[in-house]
Chains A and B, each alone.
Chain A
Amino acid sequence: MSVAVTIEAIEKRFENFPALRGVSLDIQPGELVALLGPSGSGKTTLLRLIAGLEEADRGRVLFGDIDTRALSLRDRRIGFVFQQYALFKTMNVADNIAFGLRSRPREERPIASEISKRVKGLLELVQLPGLEKRYPSQLSGGQRQRVALARALAIEPRVLLLDEPFGALDAKVRKDLRAWLRELHGRVGHTTVFVTHDQEEALELADRVAILNAGKIEQVGSADDVYDHPATPFVCEFLGEVNKLPVKVVGSQAFFGDRPVLGGLSQNQGGPASLYVRPQHLRIVDETPLALPGTVEHLRRNGPLRRAEVAVEGLKKRLDVDLASQVAPAIGERVRLRITHGNLFAAA
């Protein structure tokens, strides 16, 4: 029961603030897509538009080939998990989950015994068997989130929409739930869209990630696509850590000042550009024709990684360099850096 979602040229303004400016996105049936972006980028607005909780000024959303503008909220059949879960405080877990089934018109409503069977099955699906009689206030954050998910799944939605599904949880629970949700998605296979500002979450969980910025989609692609081949400087800076070098492209080489730092470029556009290099793509080398001299100013440890901050003459910000070998340079040591991979964007 999963369906393709097609978003066509959506525009949406709030008062004078353009929340979405011409957003289009094709989502395959059963796909798990993340909407990733900083706050104010329009990701939640886009999710609410798919749900039908907001109306677009222009453009439309299709479920399969049905234009959703013609559908009421009930007929859209979406499962929406709210950021703070919005569990009904005055109802216990079973009544919360059964709410959607009991809200159906009389002729489509399952009988009471069928409803309680379904509730039981859903609680097992979200691994909370036996919690029927609890009230939301008696549950932990992670349990509430699962109940919210069970409640959304109860109506057999065409599309599952999750707003910052792990936003209100602490780090450990978040990791567990992430793996669990991925596995659950594999089993039930709903077309799923979730909003997050946490890139790690988006990259790990989603089949494809749509990166939004200021009301526009910057890039859509698999985690590898967007991380390794960022389409815009924004995506490059937003995902992971990156060093930015102002360079000049001449022929097939990029020059920092008058020193060539990266060769073998295929772009034939010369002129000023920004070179984005991730810390793991900088290597301390002995001698090489294309190298950047600098001084190690700081060393730190970031979990399993060891990192050096290297000051380079002519560059205000120190470069972050991941150390590949066990032999760390000393602070104050002069080193040469080789760029093994970088992304080049012509300066605006």
Chain B
Amino acid sequence: MSDATLPAATAPARRDGSRARGESRFVQFVLIAVSLAFLLLFLLLPLVTVFVEAAARGWEAYRAAITEPDAQAAIRLTLIVAAIAVPFNTVVGIAAAWAIAKFEFRGKNLLISLLDLPFSVSPVISGLVFVLLFGAQGYFGPWLQAHGVSIIFALPGLILATVFVTFPFVARELIPHMQSLGSADEEAALTLGASPWRVFFTITLPNVKWSLFYGILLCNARAMGEFGAVAVVSGKIRGETNTMPLHVEILYNEYMGPAAFAVASLLAGLALVTLVLKTLLEWHYGDAIAASRRH
């Protein structure tokens, strides 16, 4: 439908009779066609395939695949990991964003760069780091073993890896928004006699609530979908340390395609819900979010 509006849009420009305009229209058509074809082939088609394959054996098979005990355990584990990692990253992300946006201190730029580290490091390496630290052969491994604490191949490891990988989302959304708002509102509240806590909860937080929600949404989607880092620290013990993405992979490797697709469809559904919410947010609170995009 974008094609249909294009001739109208370029019409005034075409009146000056430049041949280059005619060519650029052709170029536009090609570019749009290529993008659309790419989107269909590489993004939409696989997504549709997930749902088609999941439904291929009928409702009963689908229900069986996702109610089977190992699948249930994987779903539960994924929810637990997200339920811990996301609030943790939200709180720490708010603290980091506040520190960076409202105060001047030495090493601020270093802190901003460090925030992006999880984005720039391969997830596998993020996982390996924790194995290296807390694994049986790792730096703290023997000590942990002696005290009967297991981190690697257990829930704490999954949470650590997920926290690491999803850390930047909330802070990244908040920092530019908070910076663009400045400190006048907070100063006003302080001169009116509010305590710093009251200022935070009644002024700072409500001012950035939509960017915050947006950040949490992205953080959650990644926390539930993370594969690489989690795969390394999980050990893939069925019914114990398997999250949904890992469970999908195991099922698929064991030639249980329909079951794999059934569980995958849940993850894909999560992705769609995230996308819809994100679009709604951008639609309704575009200004607030645009403030954070501008930087």
User: Which residue numbers of A lie inside 8 Å of B, CB to CB?
Assistant: 51-53, 73-74, 76-80, 82, 84, 86, 88-90, 99-100, 103-104, 151-152, 154-155
Contact = CB atoms under 8 A, between A and B. Distances in A.
Contact of A86 (B184, B193, B202, B209): B184
A89 B188 CA distance: 12
Given A88-B203, A90-B207, A103-B198, A82 B193 contact: no
Nearest to A154: B192
Contacts of B192: 99-100, 103, 151-152, 154-155
Contacts of B18: none
B204 to A, nearest CB: 11
Contacts of A84: 184
Interface string B260-289: 000000000000000000000000000000
Nearest to A52: B191
B169 to A, nearest CB: 23
Contacts of A103: 189, 192-195, 198
A82 to B, nearest CB: 5
A161 to B, nearest CB: 9
Contacts of B198: 103
Given A79-B191, A80-B187, A99-B189, 7 more contacts: A74-B194, A76-B191, A77-B193, A84-B184, A89-B185, A103-B189, A103-B194
Contacts of B187: 53, 80, 82, 86
Nearest to B190: A73
B195 A86 contact: no
B148 interface: no
Nearest to A53: B187
Closest 3 CB pairs of A and B: A100-B192, A86-B184, A103-B194
19 contacts: A51-B191, A53-B187, A53-B191, A73-B191, A74-B194, A76-B191, A79-B191, A86-B184, A88-B185, A88-B189, A88-B202, A89-B207, A90-B207, A100-B193, A100-B194, A103-B193, A151-B188, A152-B191, A154-B192
A90 B113 CA distance: 32
Most buried by B among A52, A74, A86, A89: A86
A79 B188 CA distance: 9
B194 A99 contact: yes
Interface string B201-231: 0110011010000000000000000000000
B209 to A, nearest CB: 8
Contacts of A88: 185, 188-189, 202-203
Interface in B148-191: 184-185, 187-191
Contacts of B188: 80, 82, 86, 88, 151
B252 to A, nearest CB: 48
Nearest to B189: A99
Contacts of A86: 184-185, 187-188
Contacts of B191: 51-53, 73, 76, 78-80, 152
Most buried by A among B185, B190, B193, B194: B193
Contacts of A100: 192-194
A159 to B, nearest CB: 11
B202 to A, nearest CB: 8
Contacts of A73: 190-191, 193
Contacts of B194: 74, 99-100, 103
Most buried by A among B187, B198, B207: B187
A1 to B, nearest CB: 15
A182 to B, nearest CB: 23
Contacts of A79: 191
Nearest to B186: A86
B18 to A, nearest CB: 44
B195 to A, nearest CB: 7
Contacts of B202: 88, 99
Nearest to B196: A73
A104 B198 CA distance: 11
B128 to A, nearest CB: 44
Contacts of B203: 88
Nearest to B194: A103
Contacts of A152: 191-192
Contacts of B209: 90
A65 B189 CA distance: 26
A314 B203 CA distance: 62
Contacts of B193: 73-74, 77, 100, 103-104, 155
Contacts of A151: 188, 192
Nearest to A76: B191
A80 B184 CA distance: 11
Contacts of B190: 53, 73-74
A103 to B, nearest CB: 4
Nearest to A89: B207
Contacts of A80: 187-188, 191
Contacts of A82: 184, 187-188
A52 B185 CA distance: 15
